[in-house]
A and B are shown apart, each in its own frame.
Chain A
Amino acid sequence: MTRLHIDFSQPTLSQIVHRGGWRFAIAATLLVLILAGAYGAIVFLNIKIQSLEDRLAELNQQAMRTEKTHRKEVSKPPVANQQAMLAMMAQLNLPWAQLLKMFDSITSKQVALLEFMPDSSTRTIKIFAEARNSAQMTRYLETLKKQENLVNVRLIHHEIYAADKLNPIRFEFEVQWVTGGAP
């Protein structure tokens, strides 16, 4: 049910107010309240957003500080660890196959290699071996000296192994290996 829209006056704002009466007053009050509420909400949200942005910036800074510290920790591992790691890497990088092949080719049945201890930092290999007699030992060391890849062949220690009834000679020596140049 609606009113009759027959009015011969010129439409004006005061006419709308007049027709609305108390309904208009309530609607206007509600509108004002809604607008005030919306404004308040916007102000509140702005403050909230600002505080959140501040908090975010603070967290970012904190995160950056933590990251820097972490980077320092990661980039500067303890020296001992570093050295151990480098040593391990060097050990892994040894030309094992090449060295073993070479020693295998020159070692005769009269000489047995017991222990093989390479040191990658000095490119030195300390070897324990056993020979039938001193002549065999000397011959073996001479053969090693003739190898291109091996230099500084040095006998460190030798003795007769009395526990064995064949009385073999056990000796310790070291060599340096070279890879296409100076050691």
Chain B
Amino acid sequence: MLNISSPQICIGITPSSIAIARVTGILRKSNQIVAEKMLPLDQRGVLKHLCDQLTALLKENGLRNASAKLVISDALARFWMVQPPLNASTMSDLQAATAARFQTLYGESPSQWTIQADYQHDRPYLASAIPSAWLEAIEAVKRDFHMKINEIAPQSVVAYNRWHHLLQAGSWLVNHQEGKIAIAITGEKKHIIGYRHIQCRSQDIADESSFTYFLRQQALLMSIPLSNIICFPNLTHELSWLKFARAGQPNYRVLQKKLFDNLKTVSSGVDLALTGA
């Protein structure tokens, strides 16, 4: 049931941190980080600890009956592109092809995973999977706090849906988080035509030339031209050189920098919470 008086929150979950942003306003939204928790090193990435911390944060802030959006780190999800089979005629054909592609790429049965995809019958589409155990744990928290979950999606998907109108055809949507780079590559009609989530070293992101070199390597691997690099707003903190990036090839552009301008300390969970807020 609709309840417009319930608090609107956005929860960011990464393997190492959890953050909750409160969203206010309808036409002109504003957001505020109300809770943030970094996990100890030995608890990072463990589902039970993440759920415990999330429960504790919700309880501390009295966020019962909230209307929530969950942004999950790309690191906790899996992504792959699927070429729809030529003889696919129904949605179940596409679902079967997506599951088969998952099995081929990751070498394991998809039974323990929940798969969602932007199913298309006429062009390659992006698919994503999250361990079913994660979704069950989130469902349990939702029940305990009488929450309404409006969306559960990985950060790249949330960012693309939020900012796709700012992208140009052929843009690369780039995010860096906890030592990994997520790259979503758009095609002529700004559809996603490729996705990569790869480990990077600290020297790869140290300055503009190193980062550009790193991205050019990826472009060569995928045989895709490198043109506009659209960076997530949180990268202005992580990649400080972005402020001084020169115009040229490729062009660097940061999405909605002001979103993070007033934040002094930012954990990766806050990035996610603000991306969705």
Given A8-B153, A9-B70, A15-B151, check contact A25 B26 (CB 8 Å).
Answer: yes
Contact residue among A5, A12, A18 (Cβ-Cβ distance under 8 Å from B69): A18
Chain B residue at minimal CB-CB distance from A22: B27
- Which of B128, B150, B154 gathers most chain A CB within 10 Å? B150
Determine how close the nearest CB of chain A comes to the CB of B150; give it in whole angstroms: 4
Q: Is the C-beta of B176 less than 8 angstroms from some C-beta in chain A?
A: no
* B149 and A6 form a contact (CB under 8 A): no
* B148 and A6 form a contact (CB under 8 A): no
Chain B residue at minimal CB-CB distance from A16: B150
Question: What is the bound-complex CA distance between A17 and B190, given in angstroms?
Answer: 26
Chain B residue at minimal CB-CB distance from A12: B148
Within 8 A of A (CB), among B141-166: 148-154, 157, 160-161, 164-165
* A5 and B152 form a contact (CB under 8 A): no
Given A4-B161, A6-B157, A9-B70, check contact A19 B150 (CB 8 Å).
Answer: yes
Contact residue among A4, A8, A13, A21 (Cβ-Cβ distance under 8 Å from B2): A13
Given A8-B135, A9-B150, A9-B151, check contact A3 B160 (CB 8 Å).
Answer: yes
Taking CB atoms, residues of chain A closer than 8 Å to B157 are 4, 6
Within 8 A of B (CB), among A42-90: none
* A22 and B26 form a contact (CB under 8 A): yes
Question: What is the bound-complex CA distance between A3 and B67, given in angstroms?
Answer: 21
Taking CB atoms, residues of chain A closer than 8 Å to B160 are 3-4
Taking CB atoms, residues of chain B closer than 8 Å to A19 are 150-151
Q: Is the C-beta of B214 less than 8 angstroms from some C-beta in chain A?
A: no
Q: Is the C-beta of B52 less than 8 angstroms from some C-beta in chain A?
A: no
Within 8 A of A (CB), among B1-45: 1-3, 8, 26-27
Q: Mark B179-196, 1 if CB is under 8 A from A, else 0.
A: 000000000011110000
* A4 and B67 form a contact (CB under 8 A): no
Taking CB atoms, residues of chain A closer than 8 Å to B8 are 18
Within 8 A of B (CB), among A7-32: 7-10, 12-15, 17-19, 21-22, 25
Q: Is the C-beta of A100 less than 8 angstroms from some C-beta in chain B?
A: no
* B148 and A14 form a contact (CB under 8 A): yes
Q: Is the C-beta of A166 less than 8 angstroms from some C-beta in chain B?
A: no
Determine how close the nearest CB of chain A comes to the CB of B192; give it in whole angstroms: 7
Q: Is the C-beta of A163 less than 8 angstroms from some C-beta in chain B?
A: no
* B152 and A3 form a contact (CB under 8 A): no
Q: A1-B189, A3-B161, A8-B135 are in contact. List 10 more A-B contacts (CB 8 A).
A: A3-B160, A4-B160, A4-B192, A5-B118, A6-B126, A8-B130, A9-B149, A12-B149, A14-B1, A14-B3
Chain B residues in the interface with A (C-beta under 8 A) = 1-3, 8, 26-27, 67, 69-70, 114, 116-119, 126-128, 130, 135, 148-154, 157, 160-161, 164-165, 189-192
Q: 5 nearest interchain CB pairs?
A: A18-B150, A8-B152, A3-B161, A9-B152, A4-B118
